Amino acid sequence: MLDLSLFESDELLALAKLDVEKNRIDSALAKLKQANNLPDPQPECDSLLAKLYAQLNLFDRASYHYESYLMKQPDALLERFQYGMVYYEQGIKDRALLVWKEVLDEVPTFPPALYYCALVSWEDSDESEARRLIDILLKSAPADNLYFKRSKDLLNALDSNANSGSVAAPRFDSQKIN
């Protein structure tokens, strides 16, 4: 086993990123935990720890590290969005919406937040709000954006469900960290 105490925080972070790229989550987690316990850890350690914990469905730990990261980097929109995903994955949709609305207050056309706000609106039977958010996304995001395609699919499902009386929203894989 590698003696992690030989490395400084920035080295451990760099090595952990390599581990994540190679899907060695256990090794990445060990390095990040060590780096985060050193004096003056880099904020990115919290970000990556949060993403790993979310991937492992350890949502309380993910929330803790997202909160820690966002205290240091309050303008980090992607991490703020992902923090909302932690709540969404736990079924705490009202809290997820609050977090995503914070993102949209900063960038009203942020595609992931628009999409998931639309999805939650539909799940909560607010079809008009879902359509409004999808419309904003489709008018603002490039056609090759993942959430543009997902929004088109959601709009098609909304249209199909309007014709059939069904209300099931399409589901997609959760956010991956790479």
* CATH number where 156 lies: 1.25.40
Instruction: Residue 45: give its domain's CATH number.
Output: 1.25.40.10
Which pLDDT does position 131 carry in this prediction? 96
Which pLDDT does position 178 carry in this prediction? 41
Residue 178 lies in a domain: no
Residues 110 and 165 in one domain: yes
Residue 175 lies in a domain: no
Residue 83 lies in a domain: no
Which pLDDT does position 23 carry in this prediction? 94
Residues 102 and 58 in one domain: no
Domain boundary, last residue among 24, 46, 74: 74
Residue 46 lies in a domain: yes
Residues 105 and 147 in one domain: yes
Residue 52 lies in a domain: yes
Q: What residues make up the domain containing 32?
A: 8-74
For the chain, which residues score pLDDT lower than 50?
A: 165, 167, 172-178
Q: pTM for this structure? A: 0.86
Residues 111 and 140 in one domain: yes
Three-state SS annotation for the chain: CCCHHHCCHHHHHHHHHHHHHCCCHHHHHHHHHHHHHCCCCCHHHHHHHHHHHHHCCCHHHHHHHHHHHHHHCCCCHHHHHHHHHHHHHCCCHHHHHHHHHHHHHHCCCCHHHHHHHHHHHHHCCCHHHHHHHHHHHHHHCCCCCHHHHHHHHHHHHHHHHHHHCCCCCCCCCCCCCC
Residue 132 lies in a domain: yes
Residues 69 and 99 in one domain: no
Domain count, the chain: 2
Residue 13 lies in a domain: yes
Which pLDDT does position 6 carry in this prediction? 83
Residues 104 and 70 in one domain: no
Residues 112 and 155 in one domain: yes
Residues 69 and 108 in one domain: no
Residue 84 lies in a domain: no
Residues 118 and 161 in one domain: yes
